[in-house]
C-alpha cells in the first residue's frame, strides 16, 4: 500500500523529559510512543513542523 507523503512531520514528547538524556533518548520516545496504554491519551506536547522556503521559525500555537 503506497500513500502520499505528508508535507509535515509530527513529534510527541511525554509531559516530562527531565530524566532523559538529550538526543536519541527523546527522539526514541517520540518515535516509539513511550509505552502508553492505547486507551489512555498521552500527556505531553505535540509539535508539527513544515518545510518553508522562507528563512526563520514561526510559532503558531
Counting residues of the chain whose pLDDT is more than 90, the rounded percentage is: 0
Cα–Cα distance measured from residue 17 to residue 1, given in angstroms and rounded to the nearest whole number = 35
Where do the domains of the chain lie? 8-50
The reported pLDDT for the residue numbered 52 is 77
Alpha helices in the chain (DSSP H): 24-32
Tens-digit pLDDT profile for residues 27-47: 665 555 555 445 555 556 666
User: First and final CA of the chain: distance in angstroms?
Assistant: 34
Output the pTM of the full model. 0.27
What is the average pLDDT value for the chain, to the nearest integer?
Answer: 63
CA distances from 24 to 6, 28, 29, 33 (A): 23, 6, 8, 14
Residues 6+ apart with CB under 8 A from 29: 12, 13, 14, 17, 20
Amino acid at each position: 500500500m503506497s500513500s502520499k507523503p505528508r508535507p509535515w512531520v509530527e513529534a510527541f514528547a511525554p509531559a516530562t523529559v527531565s530524566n532523559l538524556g538529550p538526543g536519541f533518548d527523546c527522539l526514541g520516545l517520540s518515535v516509539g510512543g513511550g509505552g502508553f496504554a492505547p486507551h489512555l491519551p498521552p500527556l505531553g506536547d505535540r509539535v508539527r513542523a513544515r518545510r518553508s522556503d522562507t528563512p526563520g521559525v514561526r510559532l503558531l500555537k
